[in-house]
Chain A
Amino acid sequence: MKGYILRRLGYSLVSLFLLSVTIFLFVRVTGDPAVLLVEPGASKDDLEMIRQQFGLDQPLPVQYGSFITSLLRGDFGQSFYYRTPVLELYLSRLPHSLLLAGAAMVFSLVVGIPTGIIAAVRVNRWWDSVGKIFALLGLSMPSFWVGLLMILFFSVYLGWLPSSGSGTLLHLVMPAIALGWVFAAAHMRLTRSSMLEVLGSEYVKLARLKGLPEALVISKHAFKNALIPVLTLAGINLVIMVNVAVVVETVFAWPGVGRLLYEGIAFRDFPVVQATVLLGGAMIVIVNLLVDILYAVIDPRIRY
C-alpha cells in the first residue's frame, strides 16, 4: 500500500509538471492582456509599460523559467488585474468555494442517492418517473438559468432570500441548489443504475432467499456495494464544484475560486489562470488518491 501511494505520488508530480507547461503555453496564445487593462485609445507607451511590468516583453522560455522557479518557492506570482499575490487571492476565495461545494454536495447526495435508490427499487413505477423527470430537468436546464429563475422567484418576487453575495446561510441556499441540482441528477442516475445492477446479482437473490427483510437486503447488501461508483463520482464532482462553479458563482456574485478563474480568463490574468488550474489539478490528484484508498476501506476484496 505504501509503495503504491508513493508510486502514485510520483506520477502525480509528472502530471502536474506537464499541466504547468500546457497551461503556461495555452494562456499565452489567447491574446495580449495589456490591451484589456487600458481604454482602446490608450497610447503605445502605456501598453508597453504594462507589458514590461508583467514581464511579457521577455522571450517565452525566460517567462517560463521565471514562472517555474517562483513556483518551486511556492510563489504563484502577482495577479495582473489585482496586483496582489495570486496565492493570497486563491486562498481568500477557497473557503467560499469549499463552503458552496460542500453545501451543493450535501444537497446533491441527500436528494440524489435516496431518489436513485427508490427509483431502482420501484423501477418503472410512479417514483421512478418522478426521479427521471428530476434528473432530466437537472441535467438539461443550464445552471445560470436555474439561478436566475430562483433569484426572480425567491428574491425579487417572494423577498425571502438575498439575491447575491455571501456572509450568511441564507446567501448559500440558492447557489447551493443551483450548483447541486445537476450533480444530484447525476448521482441519482448513477445510484439507480448501480442499484439495479446490484439488485439483480446472485448474492442479493441469495439474501432474499434466506428470507432477510427487504429493507436489510437493500441497505446492507445492495446499497453498500452500489455505493462505490457513486462515491467515485462524488469525489470527482466535489473537486469540479470547488474549481469550476464559474457560472453559478458569477450569477450569484459568490466570491469563490470559479469566479476568480472566470475573471482570470476574461482579463487574460495569466498568473491567476495558471495558479487556479494548477491548484485545481493538484486537488484532483489528491482526491483521486483518497478515493482509491477509500475503495479499499469500503471493499475488503480490493488490495494494493
Chain B
Amino acid sequence: MARALAILALLLLGWTAPLNAAPEGTMTWGLHVTLASRWLDPAETEALITPFMVLYAIHDALVKPMPAGPNTPSLAESWSVSKDGLTYEFVLRKLATFHNGDPVSADDVKFSFDRYKGAAAKLLKDKVREVQVVDARRVRFHLKEPWPDFMTFYGTSASGAAWIVPRKYVEKVGDDGFKKAPVGAGPYRVVSFTPGVELVMEAFDGYWRKTPSVKRLVFRSIPEEATRAAALKNGEVDIVYLLSGPIAEDVRRTPSLQLVPSQPPAVFWLEFLDQWDPKSPWHDRRVRLAASLAIDRQAVNQAETLGFSRPTGSIIPRAFEYALSFDPPPYDPRRAKQLLVEAGYPNGFDAGDFYPFPPYTSMGEAVAGYLQALGIRTRIQTMERATFLTAWREKKFKGLVMGITGAAGNAATRLEAYVTNGGIYAYGVVPEVEDLFQRQAREQDRARRETLLHQIQKILHERVMHAPIYELAFIWGVGPRVEESGADLIKGHAYSAPYEDLRLRKQ
C-alpha cells in the first residue's frame, strides 16, 4: 500500500512538475518607443495602445482583451449586466493578490475608477452614476442611463479604467511615488525602471492565472530602427518592434530570425475631403470609385510592409465588434478610366493637395502615383505630425488626406470620429448615416444594434465615401531563443501578450 502511494505521489509530482516549473531565463525587447513613467500607472492611460504593452505585464484588469475574447474576465471571475442595462456587477477572484501580498478588493476597484484620469475618463464618469462596493469581492457600476458601449470602454484597451491599483499602497506613496515603484496585480513585478531607457521586471509567482514561464522581462528603448535590427541580429535582444522596408527584408533573409506580423486595429484609407462640395469632381461617386479602383493595394502592401498588411474594403478593422467586412476593391485601371470618362473627366483633373499621414510619405507618394496614372493630378504635401493632425482636425485641408488610426473601440466608436456630426475629423455627414448612428447609440439589443451599424457601413461602402487601403501589419523581428513571442495571441493587440504565456526555447 505504502509503495503504491509512493508511486502515485511520484506520478503526481511528475505530472505537475512542468505546470509548476519555476520561471527561467530572460526575454529582452528592443522597443521603438521611449518608455514613459506614466505607463506604469493605469490611471494615466491615454488613448493609445502603447501603454498596454507595460500594463499587461505589471497590472491586471477586471476584464480585458485576452486570447478568449475582447471582454475576458480577469481579476473579476465573472460579470453580469442587469436587464435594464443600468447596472454592471463584477465578482472578484478569491486568489487575486497584488505584488505586495494584499488581496485585490472591491474597494480597490472603486478607488481605481475614481482616480482614473486617462482616455475616456470624462465619458465614463459622465455615464456612471455610482460605483457601489457591495462586499469585499463584489462591485456594482450604476449607470445614469443604459449605455451599450460601457464594456467597450471599460473592458477593452479603449481605456485603462478597469486596471486595478492597490488603494492602501497608492495612498501611502502618492501618485509620483507609485510611478517610481508601482505595485500591481499583473504577472510581473517591477525590478527597476529608468525612464526612457529600460524597464526590468521579474515573474510574480502569486499571479492568479499562472506562474509565468520566463523569469525576467527587459524592455529597452532603441528608437533607431537599424540599431534595433542590429541588436536583434547580435542576440542582444530577443524581440524588436516596428521593422519596415529594407531593414525588415534584411531580417527576413537572416536564417535564425523571424519576421512576425501583429494586426493592430489600424486601417489606412484615402479621404475625399472635397466630396461635400457639389462643384468638386470628388462630389461624383464615379470619380471616387475610379480613384479607389486605380490603387493597386497589394503592390503598395508589398512595397511598404512586405505583403504582411491586409488589403481591405472598409475603414472599420475586421476584428472590431459590429464590423462588416468588405473585400478590397480590385485593381482595375481600365474600369477606373472608363468611370472617369463617364463622369466627364476624360483627361483627368487637378485634384489639388494630397496630405499623407506623417510619416507615411512614401506610401502617400505610391497612392498619388496611381491617381496620376489615371489622370488625377495631386501635389503631395508633407507635414510634421502634430501640425498635420491639428490642421486635419480643424478642417483646414482641401483635397485628399491619406489617414490612419489605430484607436481601440468598436465599429461605433471608429465611425463616430470620421462620419458623424460629433466626429472630430468629419468634413461632412450623410443625414441617413447620422440618423442610424444616433439610433444605434440608444439601442440595447445587440443584434438590432449590429444591424444598424452594418447599415451605416453599407451606406459608406456604396457611396464610396472613402477608399480603404489596408489594415496595417505591425512587423516584429523575433530571435532564435523565443519559442512563444505572444504575437497576435490577443486579437488586435499590437504587442507581446499575455506575458505569462510567453516561452523561451529550452537550451
Please classify how large the interface on chain B is, using the bins under 10, 10 to 19, 20 to 34, 35 or more. Answer: 35 or more
Per-residue contact bits, chain B 411-452, to A (CB 8 Å; 1 contact, 0 not): 001101110001011000000000000000000000000000
Q: Measured between alpha carbons, how far is A83 from B44 in the docked complex, in Å? A: 9
Asked if B115 is at the interface of the complex by the 8 Å CB criterion, the answer is: no
Asked if B34 is at the interface of the complex by the 8 Å CB criterion, the answer is: yes
Q: Which of B36, B194, B222, B417 contacts A43 (CB 8 A)?
A: B417
B46 surroundings in chain A (CB, below 8 A): 37-38, 42, 46, 50
Instruction: Say whether B222 contacts A35, CB under 8 Å.
Output: no
A46 surroundings in chain B (CB, below 8 A): 46-47, 119-120, 122
B121 surroundings in chain A (CB, below 8 A): 49
Instruction: Say whether A36 contacts B38, CB under 8 Å.
Output: no
Q: Which of B48, B227, B384, B392 contacts A163 (CB 8 A)?
A: B227
Instruction: Say whether B196 contacts A263, CB under 8 Å.
Output: yes
Instruction: Say whether A253 contacts B414, CB under 8 Å.
Output: no
Q: Which of A36, A40, A50, A251 contacts B227 (CB 8 A)?
A: A251
Instruction: Say whether A41 contacts B386, CB under 8 Å.
Output: no
Asked if B223 is at the interface of the complex by the 8 Å CB criterion, the answer is: yes
Instruction: Say whether B417 contacts A253, CB under 8 Å.
Output: no
Residue of A45, A49, A82, A253 with most chain B CB atoms under a 10 A cut-off? A253
Asked if A69 is at the interface of the complex by the 8 Å CB criterion, the answer is: no
Asked if A280 is at the interface of the complex by the 8 Å CB criterion, the answer is: no
Asked if A75 is at the interface of the complex by the 8 Å CB criterion, the answer is: no
**Closest CB-CB distance, B320 to chain A, in whole Å?**
12
Please classify how large the interface on chain A is, using the bins under 10, 10 to 19, 20 to 34, 35 or more. Answer: 35 or more
Instruction: Say whether A165 contacts B220, CB under 8 Å.
Output: yes
Q: Which of A39, A151, A263 contacts B47 (CB 8 A)?
A: A39
Instruction: Say whether B37 contacts A82, CB under 8 Å.
Output: yes
Q: Of the listed stretches A1-9, A25-33, A181-189, A235-243, name the one at the interface; the rest are far from the partner chain.
A: A25-33
Q: Name the residue on B nearest A40 (C-beta).
A: B405
> Does more than half of chain B's interface fall in helix, strand or loop, or is it mixed?
mixed
Residue of A35, A41, A93, A164 with most chain B CB atoms under a 10 A cut-off? A41
Given contacts A35-B389, A148-B226, A253-B223, A41 and B418 within 8 Å (CB-CB): yes
Q: Of the listed stretches A11-19, A154-162, A222-230, name the one at the interface; the rest are far from the partner chain.
A: A154-162
Q: Measured between alpha carbons, how far is A41 from B424 in the docked complex, in Å? A: 8
Per-residue contact bits, chain B 31-58, to A (CB 8 Å; 1 contact, 0 not): 0001011100100101111000000000
A260 surroundings in chain B (CB, below 8 A): 196
Asked if B234 is at the interface of the complex by the 8 Å CB criterion, the answer is: yes
Instruction: Say whether A41 contacts B222, CB under 8 Å.
Output: no
**Closest CB-CB distance, A284 to chain B, in whole Å?**
24
Q: Which of A89, A252, A268 contacts B386 (CB 8 A)?
A: A268
Asked if A168 is at the interface of the complex by the 8 Å CB criterion, the answer is: no
**Closest CB-CB distance, A17 to chain B, in whole Å?**
28
Asked if B507 is at the interface of the complex by the 8 Å CB criterion, the answer is: no
Which chain B residues in 300-330 approach chain A with CB under 8 Å?
none
Asked if B277 is at the interface of the complex by the 8 Å CB criterion, the answer is: no
Asked if B233 is at the interface of the complex by the 8 Å CB criterion, the answer is: yes
Instruction: Say whether B404 contacts A40, CB under 8 Å.
Output: yes
Instruction: Say whether A259 contacts B196, CB under 8 Å.
Output: yes
Asked if B335 is at the interface of the complex by the 8 Å CB criterion, the answer is: no
Asked if B9 is at the interface of the complex by the 8 Å CB criterion, the answer is: no
Q: Which of A32, A84, A162, A252 contacts B195 (CB 8 A)?
A: A84
Asked if B387 is at the interface of the complex by the 8 Å CB criterion, the answer is: yes
Q: Which of B44, B120, B417 contacts A41 (CB 8 A)?
A: B417
Q: Name the residue on B nearest A144 (C-beta).
A: B224
**Closest CB-CB distance, A261 to chain B, in whole Å?**
12
Q: Name the residue on B nearest A263 (C-beta).
A: B34
Q: Measured between alpha carbons, how far is A263 from B226 in the docked complex, in Å? A: 18
**Closest CB-CB distance, A238 to chain B, in whole Å?**
23
Instruction: Say whether B176 contacts A159, CB under 8 Å.
Output: no
Instruction: Say whether A31 contacts B384, CB under 8 Å.
Output: yes
Instruction: Say whether A35 contacts B123, CB under 8 Å.
Output: no
Instruction: Say whether B179 contacts A84, CB under 8 Å.
Output: yes
**Closest CB-CB distance, A235 to chain B, in whole Å?**
28
Asked if A53 is at the interface of the complex by the 8 Å CB criterion, the answer is: yes
Q: Name the residue on A nearest B232 (C-beta).
A: A163
B390 surroundings in chain A (CB, below 8 A): 31-32, 35
Q: Name the residue on A nearest B226 (C-beta).
A: A148
Q: Name the residue on B nearest A151 (C-beta).
A: B230
A165 surroundings in chain B (CB, below 8 A): 198, 220, 222, 236
Q: Which of B44, B224, B403 contacts A40 (CB 8 A)?
A: B403
Given contacts A44-B424, A45-B123, A92-B194, A253 and B220 within 8 Å (CB-CB): yes
Q: Name the residue on B nearest A159 (C-beta).
A: B234
Given contacts A41-B417, A43-B120, A156-B234, A83 and B38 within 8 Å (CB-CB): yes
Asked if B197 is at the interface of the complex by the 8 Å CB criterion, the answer is: yes
Instruction: Say whether A82 contacts B417, CB under 8 Å.
Output: no
**Closest CB-CB distance, B382 to chain A, in whole Å?**
15
Asked if B393 is at the interface of the complex by the 8 Å CB criterion, the answer is: yes
**Closest CB-CB distance, A144 to chain B, in whole Å?**
8
Interchain residue pairs with CB less than 8 A apart (9): A30-B384, A32-B390, A40-B405, A43-B120, A49-B122, A50-B46, A81-B34, A148-B226, A164-B231
Cβ-closest 8 pairs across A and B: A31-B386, A41-B407, A41-B405, A42-B47, A39-B407, A38-B47, A83-B38, A35-B389
